[in-house]
Amino acid sequence: MTSSDKDSKPKIKQPPVLFAKTQAVIEQVEAILGGPLITYWNNPRGSVCSNDVIALNEILERLGTHETIYLFIKSDGGSGQVALRIVNLLRQHCKYLIALVPLECASAATMITLGANQILMGPTAFLTAVDTSLNHALSPVDRDNDRVSVSLNELNRVIKLWRAEQGDSTENPYKNLFAYVHPLVIGAIDRAESLSIMLCRELLAYHIPDEAKAREIAATLNSKYPSHSYPILLNEAKKIGLNAATLSAPVNALLLELNRLYSEMGQKATTDFDEIRAHGNEILNILESKNQQVFYQHDKDWFYRNEERRWITLNDNSSWRRIECVEGKLHRSIMHVS
C-alpha cells in the first residue's frame, strides 16, 4: 500500500466515552436515594448475556456490601438464566435490592426485576411478558440469512388457529409446520418454557415466601399476555402481584439523562470503506457505579459475502473495557473475559 493509499483511507470512527458526565449524574442520583447505584444498560443491539455477570462482579467487588443497592436497568432482554445469575450475585452484596425502571425493561430484564424487593417505575417505564422464545441452531433464517427466534406462544397459536379452521379434519398440523420449523426447535422451545417458569419462581423466592403467590405471578408472566412485547405498565404490575411503585420525578429525570448519555455512547460508529467493506465500533452493554465503568465494545471489520447474502467479520478486536477513577486519576484497561 502506498502512502497516498494510506492517506485516502478513512479514519476509523470511535464512539464517545462520557465517563465524567455519567459519573456526575450517578453522584446526584445517589445523593437523592441515600444509597449506592449500579447501572445496567443495553444498547438495542445488546442483550442480557453471560459475560455481563463477570462485568457486574467487577463492579460489585469494588462497591462492597450494603444494606440496600439500587439498580437502574434498561434492556430489551436476553438470557433468562443469566438474569438469575445476575440477581444471585447482587443479592450477595445487599439485603434489599430496589430496581429503578425509567424506560423499557423487557423479557429477561423483567426477570431481573422479579428478584428485587421493590420495582420503581417512571411514566415511560414498562415491563413485558417473559414467554419463551428461542434462537436455535436449526431455527428458520430471515432475508439476511440470520437465524430468527421462535416463540412457543406463537407456535401454539398457529396450531390452535389451524385446528379451529380445519374443524373435524384429522390431518396433523405439525406435518405442515415442520416444513418451516424444525421439530427439534419445537421440542427445545417446549422444554425452555418450563425453564422460564422455574426461573421466575426462583427469582421471586428471594423476597416472596408464599410459594402459591410466586407460582401465580410466574404463570401470569409466561402465559397471560398475547404478545411477548406486551407492555406491562405500573398499574398492571401491581395487579399481577409485583411490589411496584412510582419512581420519584427527580430520580426519573436524572435516569433519563443517564440514558441519553449512554445512548450517545452506544451510537453506531461505522466507517465505510466501500460498498462491501466497513469497520464497526459500537458500545453494546454498559455497567457503572461510583468511580467505575465497564462496557462491551464491538470493534471489528465487516465484509459482505454476496454468495451467502450475509456480513462476516474480520480483525475482531471486540472486548470488555474498564475505566476506574483511583485517587483522582483515570485508569483504562481491557477486561479479558472468555
Per-domain residue ranges of the chain: 12-128+231-269+282-297+317-335, 134-189
Q: Is the predicted pLDDT of residue 1 greater than 50, yes or no?
A: no
pTM of the model: 0.83
Q: What is the mean pLDDT of residues 238-255?
A: 96
Q: Is the predicted pLDDT of residue 253 greater than 90, yes or no?
A: yes
User: pLDDT (tens digit, 9 = 90+) per residue, 52-96?
Assistant: 999 999 999 999 999 999 999 999 988 888 999 999 999 999 999
Beta-carbon neighbour count of residue 192 at 10 Å? Answer: 17
Higher pLDDT, 244 or 338: 244
Cell of 269: 460508529
pLDDT of residue 144: 63
Domain spanning 12-128+231-269+282-297+317-335, CATH class: alpha beta
How deeply is 215 buried, as exposed, middle or buried, from its count of CB atoms within 10 A (0-12, 13-18, 19+)? Answer: middle
Give the Cα separation of 318 and 250 in Å (integer): 36
Confidence label for 134 from pLDDT (cuts 50, 70 and 90)? low
The H or E element spanning position 97 is strand 94-101
Give the Cα separation of 9 and 272 in Å (integer): 10
